[in-house]
C-alpha cells in the first residue's frame, strides 16, 4: 500500500525547507532510514545536518523502525544554547 506521511520540521530543518511540515511518499515496509533518504533527495540541504534525530509518535526512533501512514513524525535538529 502506498501512501504518504507528514513530517513536522523544527529549527534549522524548517529554515532549510521553508516549510513547517512536508509530505513524504511512503511504501509499505519503509523505515526511518528510507524516510531520511527521501528527505535528503527532496531537500539536499538537510543532508548537511550531522546529528538529525527522528521522533515517531513522540519517541526517538532508530533508522530500522518501520513506519505506517498514521505515524506522527518529527525531525529534531541539533539544539545549541547555554
Q: What CATH number does the domain containing 19 carry?
A: 3.10.20.30
22 in a structural domain: yes
Give me the domain span that covers residue 25: 2-76
- Residue 82, domain member (yes or no): no
CB 24 within 8 A of CB 7: yes
Residue 16 has pLDDT above 60, yes or no: yes
pLDDT for residue 82 is more than 70: no
Domain contains 66 = yes
Rounded to an integer, what is the distance from CA 21 to the centroid of its chain? 9
Tell me: pLDDT of 21 over 90: yes
pLDDT of 78 strictly over 90? no
HSE at residue 1, side-chain half, CA atoms within 13 A, is: 7
For residue range 22-58, list pLDDT tens digits in order. 999 999 999 999 999 999 999 999 999 988 999 999 9
pLDDT, position 80: 62
In a domain, 38, yes or no: yes
Amino acid at each position: 500500500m502506498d501512501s504518504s506521511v507528514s513530517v513536522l520540521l523544527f529549527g534549522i530543518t524548517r529554515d532549510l525547507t521553508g516549510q513547517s511540515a512536508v509530505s513524504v511518499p511512503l511504501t509499505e515496509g519503509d523505515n526511518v532510514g528510507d524516510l531520511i533518504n527521501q528527505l535528503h533527495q527532496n531537500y539536499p540541504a538537510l543532508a548537511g545536518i550531522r546529528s538529525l534525530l527522528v521522533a515517531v509518535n513522540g519517541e526517538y526512533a532508530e533508522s530500522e523502525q518501520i513506519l505506517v501512514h498514521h505515524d506522527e513524525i518529527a525531525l529534531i535538529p541539533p539544539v545549541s544554547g547555554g
